[in-house]
């Protein structure tokens, strides 16, 4: 358990909204087909902004919401599987965009796919010694989608979410759980460039994301309850005021809700308008829940996610003093 508190959140989405009807002009699908299987009606696709641009906007919005001096930031972690470049990292680009190049900041990227923000949040809470940590989840998944594959292109969207945390003594805390296992069957897979042992450059086709939907579903409905139970540490789920899950598929969320006896009305859902934004999913939902006044002092909130790798994890947030806080 770490005595840290979220002091600000923010998010950013691209300007271009793509509806299911628009997608049906590109690939063999329909609004009815997509909504009945996923719960998604639209998503945002970036045409001009790369991952670092969205990450910077989300970070700026979080800083504005918190009212802090950005020069108090000492740590920047960005979770992404779709960075602008191999190098420099998105985190270093965000640092530069915030005008913090002359400040004593450690900045780096982390890739745990859709669980990335949760992994980054745990790392930041552990690493933070003084000042403020900025944690961002940002993706431009549209760069790696095969627009001829209706099993994947209808699911994903672009966006970024961010939060700021600092160490406190007001009863606030975060309890973490994270786990991974190798995806040997390539259930969620996107290859990179191949080796070049002949010392010659090769012209290669662009790599696209592929997914075995049934395998991912079976994994997700086991991984989410596992992560939730671990951060509860024997506490009743009834004590949780709000759950913010990774926004992958409404069928997954409904299955977990029924399996755990946790009502959908206490689960924050925005996948209908944003789709699956991978590492940006949980922080965007967190920022929107915060913006809508759904998170208040004294509440217990669970963030939970799963993703390629395979990876999964959760974070139980005690926001200010609660009944179980000593």
Q: Indicate if 246 belongs to the active site.
A: yes
Q: Which candidate, 311, 305, 304, places its Cα nearest to that of 179?
A: 311
Of 61, 246, 249, 315, catalytic:
246
Question: Are 164 and 133 a contacting pair, CB within 8 Å?
Answer: yes
Q: Which of 20, 50, 249, 276 is catalytic?
A: 276
The verdict on whether 61 is a catalytic residue reads no
Q: Which residues contact 306 (CB under 8 A, 6 or more apart)?
A: 114, 115, 219, 220, 223, 224, 227, 246, 248, 312
Half-sphere exposure of 115 (CA within 13 A, CB side): 26
How far apart CA 31 and CA 22 sit, in angstroms, is 9
Distances in Å between the Cα of 75 and the Cα atoms of 70, 109, 129, 136, 197 are 11, 11, 9, 11, 38
Q: What is the DSSP string of 47-103?
A: SS--HHHHHHHHHHHHHHHHT--GGGEEEEEEE-SS-SSSSS-HHHHHHHHTT-TTS
Handedness of CA 211, 140, 159, 56 (dihedral sign): positive
In the residue annotation, 186 being an active-site residue is answered as no
Q: Active-site residue among 20, 111, 114, 315?
A: 114
User: Cα dist. 157→11, 15, 132, 311, 320 in Å?
Assistant: 14, 12, 29, 20, 33
**Residues classed as catalytic:** 114, 246, 276
């Amino acid at each position: 358990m770490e005595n840290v508190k979220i002091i600000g959140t923010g998010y950013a989405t691209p300007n271009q909204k793509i509806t299911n009807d628009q997608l049906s002009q590109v690939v063999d699908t329909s609004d009815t087909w997509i909504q009945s299987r996923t719960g998604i009606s639209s998503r945002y696709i970036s045409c001009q902004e790369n991952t670092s641009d969205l990450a910077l906007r989300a970070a700026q919005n979080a800083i504005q919401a918190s009212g802090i001096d950005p020069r108090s930031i000492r740590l920047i972690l960005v979770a992404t599987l779709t960075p602008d470049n191999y190098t420099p990292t998105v985190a270093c680009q965000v640092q530069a965009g915030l005008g913090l190049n002359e400040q004593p900041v450690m900045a780096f990227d982390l890739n745990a796919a859709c669980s990335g923000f949760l992994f980054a949040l745990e790392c930041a809470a552990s690493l933070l010694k003084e000042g403020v940590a900025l944690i961002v989840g940002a993706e431009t998944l549209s760069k790696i989608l095969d627009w001829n594959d209706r099993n994947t292109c209808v699911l994903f969207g672009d966006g970024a979410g961010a939060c700021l945390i600092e160490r406190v003594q007001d009863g606030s805390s975060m309890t973490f759980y994270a786990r991974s296992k190798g995806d040997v069957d390539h259930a969620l897979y996107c290859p990179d460039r191949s080796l070049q042992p002949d010392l010659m450059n090769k012209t290669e086709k662009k790599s696209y994301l592929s997914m075995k939907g049934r395998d991912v579903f079976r994994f997700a409905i086991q991984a989410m309850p596992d992560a939730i139970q671990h951060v509860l540490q024997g506490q009743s789920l009834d004590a949780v005021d709000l759950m913010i899950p990774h926004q992958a598929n409404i069928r997954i969320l409904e299955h977990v809700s029924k399996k755990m006896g946790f009502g959908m009305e206490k689960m924050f859902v925005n996948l209908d308008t944003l789709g699956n934004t991978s590492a940006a999913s949980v922080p965007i939902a967190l920022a929107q829940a915060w913006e809508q006044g759904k998170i208040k002092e004294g509440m217990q909130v669970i963030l939970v996610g799963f993703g390629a790798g395979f990876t999964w994890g959760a974070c139980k947030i005690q926001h200010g003093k609660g009944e179980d806080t000593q």
